[in-house]
Amino acid sequence: MQRVRFVIATGIVGVVLASCGGVDREGTRDNIIESFQDELGQELDAECVDGVLDEYSDDELESIDDAINDGEETEAAMDLVLKIFECAPTGG
């Protein structure tokens, strides 16, 4: 079950980053939070998601997005998704 959630979340992040037409960090954050809530029933802390996105340059985020859209499970993409999952409240 956890693996299924991880795969779904990876796809959500890929779609979200691509839908922003570049890296609109606030829009990306809001879309990630909304997508996790809608698709996984998972709440995320907005400040935490901002902090995660701030760890990456625009080029890195675009590279992660490209990899996800190509169906690749890169270390960077997995790292990003795991960090975003850590933004869920304890017990969430």
Residue 55 pLDDT greater than 70, yes or no: yes
* Residue type, position 57, single letter: S
Cα distances from 72 to residues 5, 24, 50, 92, in angstroms, run 16, 23, 24, 27
| Residue 92: inside a domain | no
Per-residue pLDDT reduced to its tens digit, 2-45: 554 665 566 667 767 666 655 677 888 888 888 888 888 889 99
| Residue 77: inside a domain | yes
DSSP state of 88: S
Q: How many residues are given for the chain?
A: 92
Confidence of residue 92 (pLDDT cuts 50, 70, 90): very low
| Residue 23: inside a domain | yes
| Residue 62: inside a domain | yes
CB-side exposure of 14: number of CA atoms within 13 Å? 19
Domain region containing 73: 2-85
Q: How many CB atoms lie within 10 A of CB 27?
A: 14
Contact yes or no for 62/24 (Cβ under 8 A):
no
